[in-house]
Chain A
């Protein structure tokens, strides 16, 4: 049977039998101790039986380990019917010889005790069941019922002790369920017999909402997660949801997807959100968070992507009507099967059930975009830490699947704005803030990108307007230490326009003035030039007339000399001059 080999392994490291229960095998680092007994204790309705049922089903179908279910409380038929709700088909497993169910019933009213007895009957039945299919797993649910049927507890205890030794000798991995007792783990102290591994299940009600939790109380020879972990019972079995189950191992995409608002895309580095990132929009009531989500959904559907929308406050019909008022008709997308709504009040069921629904719908619908609106409403069904842990797990889950997740969060008015009611901001990749700005007897919406990991995003506050054609983002007017929005911004803009018009007129006037002045100067320059020309002309003329006069004089003098018969033959002018001088001296 290979049992010897497995014992040899055990010497070094405890051999484990995987339960196949989602999350539990991570917590126990492999499963339950193989060949030993594990005690599952919990109050009524905490999921003990389902735990056992899943342990057997997974063992039979996924790990090739047939199992035996010894049920003390429900008949085979009841059992098969009850686990069918988890998607387990016991009838089929029985038919395939992977499972044997034996209903052990003991009726105290028709059973009397007289003298000594043993539980050999039970042993024989278990032995028969185990050997008939070569079972490796045994579940006893709930063996404590024997205490109700049998009066002689001292004999019963001795027999139980023998039973657990017998199970160990058989080499089967056993799960024993037990009712939780007052002040101790089990009502009848079964923990005395089963001490290798004890798991406690709990079904607690907080604020009228029930949550299931699981805790590994002890696990001899193995490390294990020690906290209380929420778990759910869904239509595919149990899932324990430890925060660490996903890990931070997802691959970050460089792809971007549009926000559905062109101006928003440009605020986020020009391209929008990262594919598979988590986006949070927080703001006070009526700031337009849902509308922003609708734009994202509309844009995604236009690209042919699938969107899953979780509504916690509105019905799909109301939501679509409201979005039509801002020019977004989402109904065609619903008809095309691209958009799926899931509307449920948060307090309809517990957080874990919400988480499970979200997981399941996401797995079924395989969307590219998931919107949760508003995620802050979940606080009504859990504590801050619970909601946060739920969101951590959700975000991990979405990221592993490269789903872009969009969360809206309502901030109550009296709160510091840059935080969220549920303290989830640090989990988000992109955080958009929507804000009310009240001024001048009106309220206006402002939007800014508080953070956006891995992209150069705008640091500007924009006015956020909801119009008949969707969201509009407008630059706010910032001047004199004031931000103007709405009509104040319009007034300021008009004022500015008037001012600039005035300036333009003034400018034109002054320019004209200068032009005229230039023209005048240019005219003056022309006149002066004329004067200058005339003066120069006169000058030339004077030169010429002076020359003429001199020549005339000389000619006249020489003529006179000739006339007075000077002796000099053809005297040179100098001679003539000299003669003149001499004559003058003579004279």
Chain B
């Protein structure tokens, strides 16, 4: 797994740095409003199987439930240890939902997508 520099990732123009997955409209799920675009950061530690699994799981969840309405950055804390401190990362992998507020965190390998959605407080919005 390649580590990703998150600094420039916020901008959608640099897909190589941040992982911005283009939106695809799906009929099954109601599309989220543009302003409710989800900003997610995933902190992992190196290229352990756990990290890999977490990234893949997260990507899957994003694709499935948030298509087109999310921005996912993957950050390797080995590369950016200062960020681990600044962002209060204790356990890895940690997913931080920066936007929309409230700020939420989910730790684990995200094998249980239902819990991830509950944890990110995105469930209710999806059901509308």
- Chain A interface residues (CB < 8 Å from chain B): 102, 104-107, 110-122, 124-125, 127-129, 146, 149-150
Contacts and interface: CB of A to CB of B under 8 A. Distances in A.
B110 interface: yes
A127 B110 CA distance: 26
Contact of A117 (B46, B82, B92): B92
Contacts of A110: 102-105
A117 B84 contact: no
Contacts of A102: 85
Given A106-B88, A112-B107, A124-B78, A117 B93 contact: yes
Interface string B101-126: 01111111111110110111000000
Interface in B53-112: 54, 57, 77-78, 81-82, 84-85, 88-94, 102-112
Contacts of A119: 90-92
A129 B102 CA distance: 30
Contacts of B118: 112
Contacts, number: 104
Interface of B: 43, 45-46, 50, 54, 57, 77-78, 81-82, 84-85, 88-94, 102-113, 115-116, 118-120
A117 B110 CA distance: 9
A122 B109 contact: no
Contacts of A121: 43, 45, 77, 84, 89-92, 94
17 contacts: A102-B85, A104-B88, A110-B105, A112-B105, A112-B115, A112-B118, A112-B120, A114-B110, A114-B113, A115-B109, A120-B46, A121-B91, A121-B92, A122-B90, A124-B45, A128-B82, A128-B84
- Enumerate the 9 nearest inter-chain pairs by beta-carbon distance, A residue then B residue, closest first: A112-B119, A115-B108, A115-B109, A121-B89, A120-B45, A115-B111, A114-B108, A128-B81, A114-B115
A150 B87 CA distance: 17
A115 B57 CA distance: 11
A503 to B, nearest CB: 103
Q: Is the interface of A mostly helix, strand, loop or mixed?
A: mixed
Contacts of A116: 50, 108-109, 111
B127 to A, nearest CB: 18
A114 B91 contact: no
A114 B106 contact: yes
A107 B91 CA distance: 12
Q: Report which residue of A121, A125, A128 has the largest number of chain B beta carbons within 10 angstroms of its beta carbon.
A: A121
Nearest to B112: A114
B59 to A, nearest CB: 15
B119 to A, nearest CB: 3
Contacts of A114: 106-113, 115-116, 119
A112 B90 contact: no
A125 B85 contact: yes
Contacts of B46: 120
Contacts of B110: 114-115
A565 B91 CA distance: 192
Nearest to A112: B119
Contacts of A122: 90-91
B96 to A, nearest CB: 10
Given A120-B45, A124-B84, A128-B85, A113 B78 contact: no
A482 B57 CA distance: 104
B82 A112 contact: no
A111 B77 contact: no
Nearest to B102: A110
B81 A117 contact: no
B66 to A, nearest CB: 16
Given A112-B119, A124-B78, A124-B81, A117 B108 contact: yes
B106 A127 contact: no
Contacts of A107: 105
A146 B90 CA distance: 9
A123 to B, nearest CB: 8
A263 B91 CA distance: 79
A124 B106 contact: no
Contacts of A124: 45, 77-78, 81, 84, 89
Nearest to A105: B88
Contacts of A120: 45-46, 77, 91-92
Nearest to B44: A120
Nearest to B106: A112
Nearest to B78: A124
